Structure formats: structure tokens, C-alpha cells
Amino acid sequence: MEPWYSMSLGDGMLAAMPQAELEAAFQRAFTAAGGPSNMAVFTRHESEGRLHCEVMAYFSPAAWDLAKAFGAQPCEKPARAELSLLAGDKRAWLALFPESDR
């Protein structure tokens, strides 16, 4: 199984700029790769008991070049719950989470 990659985009209130930069870089890479359905970046607000939430970005295995360029680290496939598709085609849900119905 190929690894996923993750990184923090920072505090939920301040993550808009890093998210926009990541989304723009993804769109260039996605277009260059021919728009594969299994190439995507998801985000989730995570608090883990802290006062403020942190926005985490999860890169699918097909987005590993971009993940490495942004300094993301290998991780387990994230749980589907409460993920949002930041960048990629809507087909990514089915391609990457076939066990879920969305």
C-alpha cells in the first residue's frame, strides 16, 4: 500500500493563505499529470482537545511529488470522516475511499 502524506497548514484561523498556495500548486501539478482521479489533497480541522483547531492537509499517494515539495511527511490513509476535498476532481472520493458512499 502506498503511503499518504500529511502536513499542518497551521491554525484554523490563519490557514487560508497556505491553503490557497497549496491549491494553486496542486492545480498546476494536476493539469500536468493529466487530471488523474486518484490525485487529490484533502483537509480536515483537527483540535485533539486543544482550544484552537489546526488544519491538516492529506495528500493522496498520487500527489507525492507535491507533498514532498511542501515538506509533508508520510502517514497512514486518513479516516474519511470530516475530510474536505481541497484540490482534485470529485471522482477522487470514489477512487480513494471506495468503501464510503458519498
Cell of residue 3, nine digits: 503511503
Beginning with the edge strand found earlier in the chain, give each strand of the sheet holding 40-46 in spatial order.
Answer: 73-75, 4-11, 54-59, 40-46, 84-88
pTM of the complete model:
0.89
Task: Name the nearest CA neighbour of 87 among 47, 31, 46, 3.
Answer: 31
- For 16-55, b/e burial (b = at least 16 CB within 10 A) is eebbeebbeebeebbeeeeebbbbbbbbbeeeeeeeeebb
pLDDT per residue, tens digit, the chain (102 aa), is 799 999 999 876 777 888 999 999 999 999 999 999 999 999 998 876 655 688 999 999 999 999 999 999 999 999 999 899 999 999 999 999 987 654
Angle at 93 between CA 81 and CA 70, to 5 degrees: 80
